Structures are given as structure tokens and as C-alpha cells.
């Protein structure tokens, strides 16, 4: 779906476009550049009485086995499209991990599941950082459950009792149905 066209000055890290279609903050968008589909994300949307302008951060494009960042800005006037699930998944590397730890779906894309590579996760230092109330404890509990499902030994030191419910099975049929569809 064509969302609009790039306007004004852009850099290798960012650009803005005049919105003609339906665009929302945090949507992933794509722009063609030298026959490559460049993935970007809408970071802010500004509206005045005459127009709507979206400000985007450039993520990059897929080349061979890695992601590449831009070395020259995108062309003014270039069409901006809503990015396909395939492009988002390919550039962000969401399909690389088979049998990994499922931690949820990508924000705004409920049909794009996010998996973490357990081997990489456990061989490095891990930090989950966010503001209070943004789901750090929930994310850790999901990760712990995934590790337990994969038969990875887990030791939890829990002075605040946040993870004490993990010892009880979830008998909520709706949750179980959702989980069975994902695996």
C-alpha cells in the first residue's frame, strides 16, 4: 500500500514523507533504493491544517547474510510503502531462529512472531531494560517458561516474589489455545 512520497532533506539515518495513505507511528515502511528494499520505521507523525508528515528512521536492507545500512540518502519523491511482513522478518532476522524461545509478536504485527536464539542468549550477558511498568518482569517470565519448555535448567533468585506463580500450570484454555497455534 502506497503511503506517500519522500519530501525535503533526508540523511542515511532518517527521512520524512508526505502521508497520502493510512500511516501510524511505529509502522514499518519500505522504500526502493538502487533495486533494494530499504526498511524504515515511522518514529513520529506531524499534522497541521494542510498536511500530514511522517518522520522515519532508516533501519537498512538485507544483503547476503547480513543487514546493511545506507551509505547515501534516499531520493526525494521516492514512493513509501507499508513494508511487507516478509521484508520486516528478513531484515530484522526474525526467521533465522527455528526452535528458539518465543517471546511474543512484533508490535503492530500480530502475525510476526519473535524468537530468540537460546544458544546465543545463554552464551552472552543479557539485560532487559525499560521504564517501570513496560513489561520487563513479564518478558523475563515468558523467557523463563520458554527455557523450561526447552529443558534448559533455570535457577531463579526472586527476592520480590515476582516469579512464584511459575511453579503452577496455566489452566486458562484461551492461553493454551493461543500457544498451540504459535508452535
Lowest mean pLDDT among 24-38, 103-117, 168-182: 168-182
Q: Summarize the confidence of residues 45-64 as an average pLDDT.
A: 95
At 17, list the grid cell. 514523507
Mean pLDDT comparison of 19-28, 99-108, 148-157, highest-scoring range: 19-28
**Residue for cell digits 516474589?**
161
Q: What angle do CA 118, 150, 139 make, to 5 degrees?
A: 60
Residue 131 exposed, middle or buried by CB count within 10 Å (0-12, 13-18, 19+): exposed
Res. 28: pLDDT tops 50: yes
Gap between the Cα atoms of 151 and 16, Å rounded:
47
Which residues are CB-contacts of 64 (< 8 A; sequence separation ≥ 6)?
none
Q: Summarize the confidence of residues 116-145 as an average pLDDT.
A: 86
Report whether 54 contacts 42 (CB < 8 A): yes
Res. 177: pLDDT tops 60: no
Its pTM stands at 0.76
Lowest mean pLDDT among 75-79, 128-132, 169-173: 169-173
Amino acid at each position: 500500500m502506497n503511503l506517500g512520497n519522500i519530501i525535503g532533506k533526508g540523511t542515511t539515518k532518517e527521512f520524512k514523507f508526505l502521508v497520502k495513505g493510512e500511516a501510524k507511528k511505529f509502522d514499518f515502511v519500505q522504500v526502493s533504493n538502487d533495486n533494494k528494499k530499504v526498511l524504515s520505521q515511522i518514529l513520529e507523525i506531524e499534522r497541521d491544517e494542510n498536511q500530514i508528515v511522517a518522520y522515519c528512521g532508516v533501519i537498512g536492507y538485507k544483503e547476503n547474510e547480513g543487514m546493511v545500512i545506507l551509505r547515501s540518502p534516499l531520493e526525494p519523491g521516492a514512493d513509501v510503502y507499508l513494508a511487507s511482513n516478509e521484508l520486516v522478518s528478513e531484515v530484522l532476522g526474525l526467521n533465522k531462529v527455528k526452535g528458539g524461545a518465543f517471546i511474543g509478536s512484533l508490535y503492530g504485527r500480530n502475525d510476526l512472531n519473535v524468537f530468540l536464539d537460546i544458544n546465543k542468549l545463554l552464551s552472552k550477558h543479557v539485560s532487559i531494560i525499560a521504564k517501570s511498568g513496560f513489561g520487563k518482569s513479564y518478558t523475563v517470565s515468558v523467557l523463563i517458561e520458554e527455557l523450561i519448555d526447552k529443558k534448559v535448567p533455570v535457577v531463579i533468585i526472586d527476592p520480590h516474589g515476582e516469579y512464584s506463580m511459575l511453579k503452577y500450570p496455566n489452566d486458562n484454555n484461551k492461553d493454551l489455545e493461543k500457544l498451540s497455534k504459535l508452535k
